[in-house]
Structure 1
Amino acid sequence: MSDLEARVREVLPSVRADLEDLVRIQSVWADPERRDEVHRSARAVADLFTGVGFPDVQIVSEGGAPAVIARHPAPPGAPTVLLYAHHDVQPEGDVAQWHSPPFEPTERNGRLYGRGTADDKAGIATHLAALRALSAGGNALPVGVTVFVEGEEESGSPSLGRLLAAHRDALAADVIVIADSDNWSTEIPALTVSLRGLADCVVEVATLDHGLHSGLWGGVVPDAITVLVRLLATLHDDDGNVAVEGLHEGTAADVDRGPDWVRAETGLLDGVSEIGTGSVVQRLWAKPAITVIGIDTTPIAKASNTLIPSARAKVSLRVAPGGDAAAHLDALRRHLETHAPWGAKVTVTPGDVGQPYAIDATGPVYEAARTAFAQAWGAAPVDMGMGGSIPFIAEFAEAYPAATILVTGVEDPGTQAHSINESLDLLVLAKAAMAESLFLAALAPD
């Protein structure tokens, strides 16, 4: 433990420097104008794992963003571990709201700020630190390691299925470690054991074949925006619970972060209450959620006294573990088609679907992980659910049904992933690197 801890401490400065270099690359695959940056990011990641001594490093693409596959063979009798992260990042949003430039990593109060510092270039850094520490001084890696760094996770991983199919043998592993999740706090680690699924659609309502003067016909003819607002309001009851019939609800663990958890971590405004019933973790991890994430209609700057003939909205549905995302999307479609007022015409266009996933967090691999985390953090890990969705985990599970999947990460409640001022707690990075190093060492054959 002490020797490996010293080696982790020794490699962390170089790992941080490499992380900062990666953060400076604006690898936003969702922005077509910055796709060259994603390719540059893939080349930088490939160079990093070549530098660790991996003899087989490839940049691959199956019609989507470039991904990196780096392979190091297993010693005789040792298992192979797949280490996953992604090098693409979310768009930065309004730069004026950042306290420092989003693509210039900046340390403040022990946190490194910048887009991708945590989600998920810190996942790459964690793997890099563990591998450098374990191989320091010419030591052989205790297990076989395949590193898979995806390039379009923030865009929903549309080509992941093709990547898994084309490189199935190269990515095959006994254990899969996905470094793209949260910890309970900066002091207490977590293993993510369930994730909600995701489905979305666009609903369009129409009441007229052309716009009408609102003074001449208002009060007689319904306008599409009013219809859309009333239709969207039917998705929840008065308490804020989802009101669509046929959706699955599970049971969450009996854990809590305290009475001020939600307000402290979300920026909920004074006087605004939470929605839904049940504990916070029940609502976040085990119940469905529906959110209207966009509306298309006449902008205020171009508004006139006109009855709008049509309007549309994008609706996002989170699916509790145990539910089927495709069936839930059908239920949402049926609800929207049957609840529009005044006979308005409704068209629902289905969107993306990602399945939820619940992990069996038992067995010797999980025992080794819990021991490693407890040693590295000085606290036992919490088994936690995740309100967000990582649909590719279900794809990995389907492609490699015999593999044990662990979902970890370096994020914490203050990370603000996907938001402005995203940041990484540097002590959490050190503890995560130590935990992964101990875990990989523990998987070596006796």
Structure 2
Amino acid sequence: MDTPHINMIAPVGLDPQQLQAFINEQWDREIVPALERYIAIPAKSPAFDPDWVRNGYIDQVVRDAAQWLESRPVSGLKVEILRLPGRTPVLFFEAPATRQDDGQAVLMYGHLDKQPEFSGWRAGLGPWQPVMQDGKLYGRGGADDGYAVYASLTAIEALDRQGVPRPRCVGLIETCEESGSYDLLPYIDALRDRLGQVALVVCLDSGAGNYDQLWMTNSLRGLVTGTLEVQVLDEGVHSGDSSGIVPSSFRILRHLLDRLEDSGTGRVLPASFYCDIPLERQDQAHEAARILGDEVWQRFPWACGADHGFVLPMTRDPQQAMLNRTWRPALSVTGAEGLPPLASAGNVLRPRSAFKLSLRLPPLVDAALAAQELKTLLEQDAPYQARVLFQPDPGVAGGWDAPQSAPWLTQALDAASQQYFDAPCGYIGQGGTIPLMNLLLQGFPQSQFMVCGVLGPKSNAHGPNEFLHVPYAKRLTAAVAQAMAGLPS
């Protein structure tokens, strides 16, 4: 449904029909081709491409986006590529206010760096191969979230074409988000005077519960990652000669993880990794679970066949599943070293095993303290006096709990959702991490936050077959434009 529902709550002077029609045309004619070029470039985040400077892919996608912005007919638009020494570049743009400038600004955020390739892409698809099928643009990074810079300026342009007054808009597009945004704070400090009084933050790097309504992200989990290593020997030895005497490094790893997680239920054990869930968030999780039902857990690509009811998630209760992925800690092992490929696995007791751990934390848990506690928990009293080391990755990411929304924003979001989706706005917590949110909340404590995105069911960010749902992105762009125009002066 590309034609919006007529609603009298739209800002004065805004024609929703024309707004959506213009945005649809821009997506089809301008944004999708730009994203196809973007997807084809392997602009992996520095954590996954240590030679990113020499390879030049990040510089290429930033230059391409900057040239696209400069081609748009937005009066007074300024576009800059900023480069602090030794840091990844940032794309900054500024569109002056078209209403009486009261100093307030809308900050529009996105990123252009990408996750690595991953395996398991379907035949005919690939991470650097843009493919459009059934309204979905497949390929790495289009949805997470290369589209953000293009959608942001299109929302501004759509308002300006209709002469709808809007506040000053600034764009901050970084290139190390997938590495933890460690370069971002220096840029924010350098740009603080130019950012001005940020009254509304629009972040397009989040997800959606479905593709049927506008979804706002009300919380984000924190994250501690690191490598847990166990070494028992200086070199591998014949397993027939040594097993039963020399303990397995893999078994010691399992033993250590039992300190952190109940392997039977997946429940994280230390009480300090939990927090009280605010009542408002519990109510919003209940409402989101009511809307989504079993889709909360059925949307994942279960190998055992969710369509036939054979799947066994950790819970079938939609509300508890929602809280598990947003307000409770969870452990994942995301990588391993010391294990040879199956074809090369001989009768050898290996000297060393290492796991990459990913511990998601509730939004209100201090991630830096959690990293210290995790290191102590895993390293103390090593079984068999084995050599045990847990090395947290730099830049642990704290979670984020959205500030209370002002009445104007709540009304504007619901009006926009009704206008372009014919359904009320939904609120949902996300299990992912966007470090910028806490930085901005600290730097601009009076700001309102519109955190949303296109990562809905099966869009599979970071995994194989990632796609951007183009019809949803078109409506989201229109909703962003209308909400921005609603910022009170």
Calculate the TM-score normalised by the size of structure 2: 0.84
Residue 349 (str. 1) matches residue 373 (str. 2): no
Deviations 1:334-380 (A, max 9, x none): 22124643333322222231000100242123432332233222111
Deviations 1:253-292 (A, max 9, x none): 2132223542432324356632379710111011001111
Equivalent of 1:144, from 140, 148, 168? Answer: 168
Q: Could you tell me how far apart the structure 1 residues matched to 2:475 and 2:463 are?
A: 24
Letter in 2 for 1:242: V
Aligned to 2:461, what secondary structure does the other structure show? coil
For 1:18, the equivalent position in structure 2 comes to 34
C-alpha contact 1:368 1:442 (8 A) present in aligned 2: yes
For 1:166, the equivalent position in structure 2 comes to 190
For 2:11, the equivalent position in structure 1 comes to none
Equivalent of 1:273, from 312, 326, 332? Answer: 312
Structure 2, unmatched stretches of 5+, are: 1-15
Relative to structure 1, is the Cα distance of residues 72 and 260 closer, same or farther in structure 2, using a 3 angstrom cutoff? closer
Deviations 1:279-316 (A, max 9, x none): 10111011001111122114145544333333222211
State the shift of 1:213 in Å. 3.5
User: Number of aligned pairs?
Assistant: 444
For 1:154, the equivalent position in structure 2 comes to 178
The equivalences for 1:203-352 within 5 A come to: 203-237=228-262, 238-251=264-277, 252=282, 253-254=285-286, 255-256=288-289, 257-259=292-294, 261-270=296-305, 273-275=312-314, 279-300=320-341, 301-338=343-380, 340-352=382-394
Q: Could you tell me how far apart the structure 2 residues matched to 1:258 and 1:339 are?
A: 45
Letter in 1 for 2:293: G
324-333 or 206-215: which moved more?
Answer: 206-215
For 2:7, the equivalent position in structure 1 comes to none
Structure 1, unmatched stretches of 5+, are: none
Aligned to 2:61, what secondary structure does the other structure show? helix
For 2:223, the equivalent position in structure 1 comes to 198
For 1:51, the equivalent position in structure 2 comes to 71
Deviations 1:67-92 (A, max 9, x none): 10001222424431011111122222
Letter in 2 for 1:159: D
Q: Could you tell me how far apart the structure 2 residues matched to 1:65 and 1:40 are?
A: 12
Residue 181 (str. 1) matches residue 226 (str. 2): no
Aligned to 2:450, what secondary structure does the other structure show? strand
Note the aligned Cα RMSD (angstroms).
2.4
C-alpha contact 2:20 2:474 (8 A) present in aligned 1: no
Calculate the TM-score normalised by the size of structure 1: 0.91
Q: Could you tell me how far apart the structure 2 residues matched to 1:104 and 1:225 are?
A: 38
State the shift of 1:383 in Å. 1.1
Deviations 1:188-214 (A, max 9, x none): 221001000011222222333444443
State the shift of 1:168 in Å. 1.7
Equivalent of 2:480, from 430, 436, 444? Answer: 436
Q: Could you tell me how far apart the structure 2 residues matched to 1:221 and 1:6 are?
A: 70
C-alpha contact 1:16 1:125 (8 A) present in aligned 2: no
Residue 105 (str. 1) matches residue 127 (str. 2): no
Letter in 2 for 1:274: P
State the shift of 1:4 in Å. 2.7
Q: Could you tell me how far apart the structure 2 residues matched to 1:273 and 1:82 are?
A: 42
249-258 or 345-354: which moved more?
Answer: 249-258
For 1:381, the equivalent position in structure 2 comes to 425
